[in-house]
Amino acid sequence: MTHYTRPSHSRSPHSRTGAPRRPAARQSDFARTVSSTPPLPPAASFAELEMPAALLSTLTRQGVTEPFPIQAATLPDALNGRDVLGRGRTGSGKTLAFGLAMLARSAGRRAEPRRPLALVLVPTRELAQQVTEALTPYARSVDLRSATVVGGVSISRQAAALNRGAEILVATPGRLADLINRGACRLDHVRITVLDEADQMADMGFLPQVTALLEQVAPGGQRMLFSATLDRNVDRLVRRFLTDPVTHSVDPSAGAVTTMEHHLLHVTEADKHDTTAHIAARDGRVIMFVDMKHAADRLTRKLLSGGVRAAALHGGKSQPQRNRTLEQFRTGDVTVLVATNVAARGIHIDGLDLVVNVDPPNDHKDYLHRGGRTARAGESGTVVTLVLPGQRRDMDRLMATAGITPQSTRVRSGDAELSRITGARTPSGIPVTLPSPATAGSRDGGSVPGRRRPRNRRSPRPAVTRTAGA
């Protein structure tokens, strides 16, 4: 076991060991969130931080040589035991920002069966899996066990993992509540709690469940909340559960990403499908967002019939199907991922340089999180939105709210300008057939001809993302 002796000043006098709760001042946004104690100076390097040597060595092996801004800003305070309120755009490196602090402060401890020591709450299954994959090599280096609990997969396996003991628990609120109700998990030993993508959890209606879960964790523990925005619902969580939080906002605007281009492509109703198909046929991968599950399936069928290797990702798919579809997209077997907002958070695909809003998003937060699938970890990327004549006014208003000044262009399928912006080209027209994710043994039907489906076959794990921007 790797032991790490924490220095005597590893918890500030403002951490909450046995201290009475002090209500934080009311906050309406990140800029006005003021702590009574100033934050520590940002770290210039990982080496100057008080972390176990095993974590520093793993960072080097993973090729993570210097902290991203959100990590440099939050880690000194998080390692010191402070409550942290962090804002950073998706892909900015928040996972390691809270993950390294959580692991460093948990190192050398052992969890009892069904009683984790640290909890990360996330809104979606995909984000839970990504957080787990990103933190696994670091957790192993300090001999910490982790468990992931999400819907759509076997709850009995998850209960068994908790029963074996796990120091770190990554969970979606609904499945965690189910396990607690079954007596398979207790949160009274949790001393470090992280809320990742708190604004989406509020948007998805998880606030009552999140509140109930936070009320069960050990009093006086450390709490870290990361969110792209701080609206009324998230503000309520901050005021109720964080004590004198130190605030770090590393982005002047959630949409102000200098490596990202934003385009509004004005199209006609009659030409919208052909324009979409030409973009999909580009040389390179692309995520295309639509509003509804049936729209994702319909567009996928049309693209496949036109010669484009496309697959749908939405909430109507089982978790094994979703995992396999993402793996196909990562490996390039699928070049177009047609998705609903289920993919708008928590999916990190290295080198993805284009996101297309086939259906414009409903609000600016959806736009920012959809677009956040590209231009991650300092890479460049382009976000284009197809706009019908009747949608123009709403999109102009949405972009103004997001703080983005896009380039607007009127295009048609086959235009040189469409090709310049997106790499669009004419589809081959030769239908393609892809192996269905269900044929790999999913419970959702489908089988390889002449082969019996194996029982209880585990779905493959998504590819591990090994960047500081996880």
Q: What is the pLDDT of residues 354-369, one digit of tens each?
A: 999 999 998 888 888 7
pLDDT, mean of residues 32-48: 79
pLDDT of residue 34: 52
Confidence of residue 378 (pLDDT cuts 50, 70, 90): low
In this structure, the answer to whether residues 413 and 269 fall within a common structural domain is yes
In this structure, the answer to whether residues 108 and 182 fall within a common structural domain is yes
Kindly state the percentage of the chain with pLDDT values over 90.
Answer: 57
pLDDT of residue 343: 63
Domain range for 356 is: 260-440
Number of separate domains in the chain? 2
In this structure, the answer to whether residues 170 and 298 fall within a common structural domain is no
In this structure, the answer to whether residues 145 and 290 fall within a common structural domain is no
Kindly state the percentage of the chain with pLDDT values over 70.
Answer: 80
> Is the pLDDT reported for residue 160 higher than 70?
yes
User: Is residue 424 in some structural domain?
Assistant: yes
> Is the pLDDT reported for residue 19 higher than 60?
no
- Classify burial at 204, counting beta carbons within 10 Å of its beta carbon; exposed 0-12, middle 13-18, buried 19 or more: middle
In this structure, the answer to whether residues 390 and 421 fall within a common structural domain is yes
- What CATH number does residue 290 fall under? 3.40.50.300
pLDDT in tens, 390-417: 999 999 999 988 888 899 999 999 999 9
pLDDT of residue 468: 41
pLDDT of residue 213: 97
> Is the pLDDT reported for residue 434 higher than 50?
yes
User: Is residue 375 in some structural domain?
Assistant: yes
| Structure tokens that stand for 169 in this block | 């628990």
For the ranges 139-143, 204-208, 339-343, 382-386, the lowest mean pLDDT is seen at 339-343
DSSP assignment of 72-111 equals HHHHHHHHTT--EEEE--TTSSHHHHHHHHHHHHHTT--P
In this structure, the answer to whether residues 165 and 213 fall within a common structural domain is yes
In this structure, the answer to whether residues 343 and 201 fall within a common structural domain is no
C-alpha–C-alpha distance, residues 47 and 125, integer Å: 33
User: Is residue 24 in some structural domain?
Assistant: no
**Mean of the per-residue pLDDT values for the chain?**
82
Q: 358 or 205, which is more confident? A: 358
Question: At which of 220, 249, 278 does a domain end?
Answer: 249
C-alpha–C-alpha distance, residues 217 and 114, integer Å: 13
pLDDT, mean of residues 150-164: 94
In this structure, the answer to whether residues 420 and 374 fall within a common structural domain is yes
> Is the pLDDT reported for residue 459 higher than 80?
no
User: Is residue 20 in some structural domain?
Assistant: no
pLDDT in tens, 70-115: 899 999 999 999 999 988 666 678 899 999 999 999 999 999 999 9
Confidence of residue 251 (pLDDT cuts 50, 70, 90): low
User: Is residue 394 in some structural domain?
Assistant: yes
Most confident of 142-156, 250-264, 434-448, 455-469: 142-156
pLDDT, mean of residues 361-385: 80
Q: 110 or 372, which is more confident? A: 110
- Edge-to-edge strand ranges of the sheet holding 146-149: 146-149, 168-171, 118-121, 192-196, 222-226, 84-87, 246-249
C-alpha–C-alpha distance, residues 101 and 170, integer Å: 15
User: Is residue 292 in some structural domain?
Assistant: yes
C-alpha–C-alpha distance, residues 225 and 171, integer Å: 15
Which residue, 445, 455, 170, 458, is CA-closest to 317?
Answer: 445
Q: 201 or 34, which is more confident? A: 201
pLDDT, mean of residues 292-300: 95
In this structure, the answer to whether residues 402 and 270 fall within a common structural domain is yes
In this structure, the answer to whether residues 282 and 240 fall within a common structural domain is no
pLDDT in tens, 117-140: 999 999 988 889 889 999 999 999
User: Is residue 93 in some structural domain?
Assistant: yes
Question: At which of 186, 221, 249 does a domain end?
Answer: 249
Residues 6+ apart with CB under 8 A from 430: 307
**pTM for the whole thing?**
0.65
Q: 460 or 431, which is more confident? A: 431
In this structure, the answer to whether residues 326 and 227 fall within a common structural domain is no
Give the rounded distance of the alpha carbon of 447 from its chain centre: 32
Question: At which of 188, 214, 249 does a domain end?
Answer: 249
User: Is residue 464 in some structural domain?
Assistant: no
Amino acid at 219: P
In this structure, the answer to whether residues 270 and 351 fall within a common structural domain is yes
* Cβ atoms of residues 205 and 186 within 8 Å: no
CB atoms within 10 A of CB 305: 16
